[in-house]
Structure 1
Amino acid sequence: MADKEIVQSHVEHDPYNYNSEAGEDDAFISEKDGNASDRRDMARMGKRQETRRNFRHVTILGFTMVILSTWEAQLATAVFALSNGGTAGLIWGYLIVMVGFGFIVASLAEMASMAPTSGGQYHWVSEFAPPSCQRFLSYLVGWLGVLGWQTATATVSYLAGNQVQGLVKLNYPSYEAKAWQGTLLIWAILAICLLFNTFFSKRLPLIEGVIVILHVAGFFAVLIPLWVMADRAPAKDVFGLFQDQMEWGSVPLAVMIGLTGAGSSFVGIEAGAHMAEEVRDAAYVIPRSMMWTWLGNGLLGWVMGVTFCFCVTDTLSVLTTPFGVPFIQVFYNTTGSVGGATGMTCLMLVIAIFACVAVMATNSRQLFAFARDKGVPFSGFFGQIHPTLEIPANAVVLTLIFVLLLSLINIGSTTAFMQVISLGVAAMLTSYIISISCVALKRIRGEPLLPSKFDLGKWGLPINIISLVFLVFLWFFTFWPSAPHPTVETMNWAVLGYGAVIILASIYYFFRARHRYVGPVEYTRKGL
């Protein structure tokens, strides 16, 4: 099919008569279509409103806060930073990453305001990249986004399952965790995610709103016992002792490697953008929810990280805990009680499960949008919205099946499974790099940008450049081996999988997709 025919078939059905609404007062809000700004944005992008705009400012902020769950992620992944930099490396490294991500989030938030669509990065690349390469770059970023969000579901479900095994070990010391049991726990968590993303999908804003209250209340429920009851390490050691536990031979190198742990806590910050077509006044609300999520969750994560480091009086014992989860060991040391540590961990577990629910919702929307633009095989099937649930149900089921199959790797080797799902971080960082590079290039060339309700103004180019420098730094270290002098088992094979995905996507593009995929920019209506 010729490109013009593809575009025509994509936008020929216009049930909302968008062009007649260009002057409509924004005060008129429809639960289905949002306000006039939402309708104009969808019209300009050549998209039909198929989902309901159930999310408002407060509920989408709660949704994105729960997805990131930064203070919980800090506790769950602290082992990596403690091994690479020690307590001082964790504290100051996290602060550096948080500041760096502030520039990244601002850059992404501006693009989310210019083009509020579930497609996110691949759509932005299509609109901002030079015409000569927009189609291929957009297609590649679409695949990287799909990979990143699919593996994010696997990561969060694995971490939640790991917490369950740690709880069992805490309460039944004779228990020996098995990899196959971990895989079954992943499946159980995915079943919960499927339930809330289908039959309870219309209640998802309310559910995530309740969970964000738990997210904030839980922060204090964990923090206060750690402040009051835990033995404390000396402040000069906590803030000043940098360690190279992995024996890289260089403390500065160890600290730089440890930064990727904190970086992973912020990857996915653009999640709200992928829900844009279900948010009222998305061009205004989404960028602000992204910035508040970064600031609010970032500060909570740093305070929890500092507190956690004060409680780690013996780093080695925490790293080698029999529970398999360092923060459970710290909870147990703090309370001196199995019941107390169990209660605190159960709180973490509930939040982790509903973070997985939100991640599945986000990646299904991103996959749906890419399929709608004919970027994946069987796009007609995965680009459908369920007529009664009003969600991309087929995309939700594909996510479930993909992660179920991926989790089978865990039975053979947990190390291999962790290396595969670590691909997601590199994929997401790459999508950020390409999309921000495109908008920075337009600024350098002095080309006009789309109007935005979150305009960086004269600071746009410096913010974009700082973002890119920081992203490239993080991207480089995501491929670093997990230990010095790596063996076949300890080598980080993420670079191999990353390269394989790019090569396979490129082959599919040149042989098949370039005849079907024209890029979202071709559907836009330039006069709106």
Structure 2
Amino acid sequence: MFAPRKAAAFITWMRGWITVFAWQATATSVVYLTAAQIQGLMILNYPTYAPERWHGTLLMWAVIAIMFSFNLWGMRILPMIELLGGICHIVFFIMILVALVVLAPQSSPKFVFTEFLNGGGWASDGVSWSVGLLTVVYCFVGFDGAIHMSEEVKDAATTIPKVIILTICINGLLAFGFLIALLFCLGNIEEVLSKPTGGFPVFAIFQAATGSNAAATAMASGLIIIAFASGFALLASVSRLTFAFARDGGMPFSKFFAYVEPHYHIPIRAIALVSIIIMLLSLINIGSSIALNAILSLSTLALYVSYLIPIILLVMKRLRKEHIDFGPFKLGRLGLWINLYAIAFAVYIVIFLPFPAATPVTAESMNYAGPVFIGFVLIALIDWFVRGRKYYVGPMQEDTGSDVDTKEANVNITEHPKGI
């Protein structure tokens, strides 16, 4: 809709591949973090436990198996799970926040608001601060996941934008409040970082505040419950995105993966594909946790690139004063300025996302997100010249309403140009 007509198919193809890959990496990262938190609790509660990387991989398989089962047999209760997850999101926030504020030793306001720690060894505090944004940015990607479910949402044209904005506003306020509380309750940083928690210092903060492993486990379990609820919805979202790209003929074996199972009325093959890819990516953890961490940071890099493409195209149409078919949800005169800010911020973030966390950089500490992303883009380009430029015409637009007829949808897939 935004791209120049002559380049529309190519731009859409590349953006589609980048988006699908980014969300696949994001789903892997959520499964990894959920499994890692479970392993972190095992380390916290069992001092004799010797963690192995393959343990984490098996835990990832267990987590994705549970998420797949709910997406296959529990789709009717998935909205209820998401609602309960949203309620827990607020309730656990209050419970953990009260426990920390009441029980934990308090840091000074000077430490919280004015002290700067450059723990990465960077010569510039500005670079250190920018690299430190990466974890924060990761927490705020994926808000557009609601778009992937738009064909299953009533009044999607107005509901989905409201969901996205409310997601950012609510979680932004909660995250800021939680951050301030953690900083006031942090205690001795070196001591917190040195405790064995499987890479989750927040567990050590919980334990130091309560003086009890059981209480810390209960608080951490609240985070894991929310992670599971998020993972259920994320797998559904990524599978719909994968299904949509296959329906448009963008994926290899598109006809196979664009199939909607007539009994459950869900794209079961797309769900299975996403789950299998997550299981395969989890094998990287056996060889090197650094390599898997590259995939996790890669998800943020790829998502921000996927955001940049349509926003840049939209701004170009605005500046050329071309006609734009806006939907019912518009930002009015602020729209262009918000678009320009989004581009500036995304470019700034993309520059620092491939940076390693600390210096000096070694083969072990290197952030491979940049090279992996470039390699993936090259693969997408090769696929375009081998397959895409011959067959791909862009997204299929169907006016189907909220209830999609499975048989009709599958017929439309088979009638895609060139048999794709």
Please classify the TM superposition score into its range, dividing by the shorter chain length. over 0.9
Letter of the structure 1 residue corresponding to residue 263 of structure 2: T
Counterpart position of 1:507: 382
Which of 115, 121, 135 does residue 247 from structure 1 map onto?
121
Counterpart position of 2:264: 389
Rate the CA distance shift 1:171–1:523 in 2: closer, same or farther, 3 A: closer
Counterpart position of 2:404: none
Which of 472, 475, 483 does residue 358 from structure 2 map onto?
483
Quick one: distance in 1 between partners of 2:267 and 2:353? Answer: 32
Does 2:112 align with 1:238?
Answer: yes
Q: Deviations over 1:133-175 (max 9, x none)?
A: 1111111111111111111111111111111111112211111
Aligned positions of 1:72-471 closer than 5 A: 127-324=1-198, 325-471=200-346
Quick one: distance in 2 between partners of 1:317 and 1:372? Answer: 53
Quick one: distance in 2 between partners of 1:181 and 1:480? Answer: 28
**Does structure 2 retain, via aligned residues, the 8 Å contact 1:223–1:307?**
yes
Quick one: distance in 2 between partners of 1:507 and 1:270? Answer: 28
Moved more, 240-249 or 315-324: 315-324
Quick one: distance in 1 between partners of 2:115 and 2:255? Answer: 56
**Does structure 1 retain, via aligned residues, the 8 Å contact 2:41–2:197?**
yes
Quick one: distance in 1 between partners of 2:360 and 2:391? Answer: 46
**Does structure 2 retain, via aligned residues, the 8 Å contact 1:202–1:389?**
no
Rate the CA distance shift 1:184–1:446 in 2: closer, same or farther, 3 A: same
Quick one: distance in 1 between partners of 2:396 and 2:318? Answer: 18
Quick one: distance in 2 between partners of 1:412 and 1:140? Answer: 30
- Aligned with 2:309: secondary structure? helix
**Does structure 1 retain, via aligned residues, the 8 Å contact 2:121–2:360?**
no
Q: Deviations over 1:307-348 (max 9, x none)?
A: 111111212222232112111000000000111101111111
Quick one: distance in 2 between partners of 1:297 and 1:246? Answer: 27
- Aligned with 1:243: secondary structure? coil
Quick one: distance in 1 between partners of 2:399 and 2:232? Answer: 32
Letter of the structure 2 residue corresponding to residue 138 of structure 1: T
Letter of the structure 1 residue corresponding to residue 103 of structure 2: M
Letter of the structure 1 residue corresponding to residue 178 of structure 2: M
Q: Deviations over 1:102-130 (max 9, x none)?
A: xxxxxxxxxxxxxxxxxxxxxxxxx1111
Instruction: Give the TM-score of the pair, scaled to structure 2.
Output: 0.93
Letter of the structure 2 residue corresponding to residue 479 of structure 1: P
The offset of 1:524, in angstroms, is 9.0
**Does structure 1 retain, via aligned residues, the 8 Å contact 2:246–2:255?**
yes
**Does structure 2 retain, via aligned residues, the 8 Å contact 1:272–1:286?**
yes
Moved more, 217-226 or 250-259: 250-259
The offset of 1:245, in angstroms, is 1.0
Letter of the structure 1 residue corresponding to residue 96 of structure 2: V
Quick one: distance in 1 between partners of 2:338 and 2:331? Answer: 8
Q: Deviations over 1:1-24 (max 9, x none)?
A: xxxxxxxxxxxxxxxxxxxxxxxx
- Aligned with 2:333: secondary structure? helix
Letter of the structure 2 residue corresponding to residue 433 of structure 1: L
The offset of 1:523, in angstroms, is 7.4
Letter of the structure 2 residue corresponding to residue 197 of structure 1: N
Instruction: Give the TM-score of the pair, scaled to structure 1.
Output: 0.74
Letter of the structure 1 residue corresponding to residue 220 of structure 2: T
Counterpart position of 1:53: none
Q: Following superposition, which runs of at least 4 residues in structure 1 exceed 3 angstroms of deviation?
A: 521-525
**Which residues of structure 1 form unaligned runs of 5+?**
1-126
Quick one: distance in 1 between partners of 2:216 and 2:399? Answer: 54
**Does structure 2 retain, via aligned residues, the 8 Å contact 1:169–1:323?**
yes
Q: CA RMSD in A?
A: 1.4
Rate the CA distance shift 1:298–1:352 in 2: closer, same or farther, 3 A: same
Quick one: distance in 1 between partners of 2:296 and 2:109? Answer: 36
Q: Deviations over 1:343-389 (max 9, x none)?
A: 11111111111211111111101100000000000000111111111
Does 2:340 align with 1:494?
Answer: no
Letter of the structure 1 residue corresponding to residue 302 of structure 2: A
Letter of the structure 2 residue corresponding to residue 209 of structure 1: L
| Percent identity of paired positions between Structure 1 and Structure 2 | 39
Rate the CA distance shift 1:481–1:267 in 2: closer, same or farther, 3 A: same
Letter of the structure 2 residue corresponding to residue 280 of structure 1: K
Quick one: distance in 2 between partners of 1:293 and 1:304? Answer: 16
Rate the CA distance shift 1:147–1:163 in 2: closer, same or farther, 3 A: same
Quick one: distance in 2 between partners of 1:523 and 1:334? Answer: 55
Does 2:395 align with 1:520?
Answer: yes
**Which residues of structure 2 form unaligned runs of 5+?**
401-420
Letter of the structure 2 residue corresponding to residue 506 of structure 1: L
Letter of the structure 1 residue corresponding to residue 98 of structure 2: I
Quick one: distance in 2 between partners of 1:497 and 1:242? Answer: 32
Q: Deviations over 1:376-416 (max 9, x none)?
A: 00000111111111111110000111010100010111111
Q: Deviations over 1:22-55 (max 9, x none)?
A: xxxxxxxxxxxxxxxxxxxxxxxxxxxxxxxxxx
Counterpart position of 1:31: none
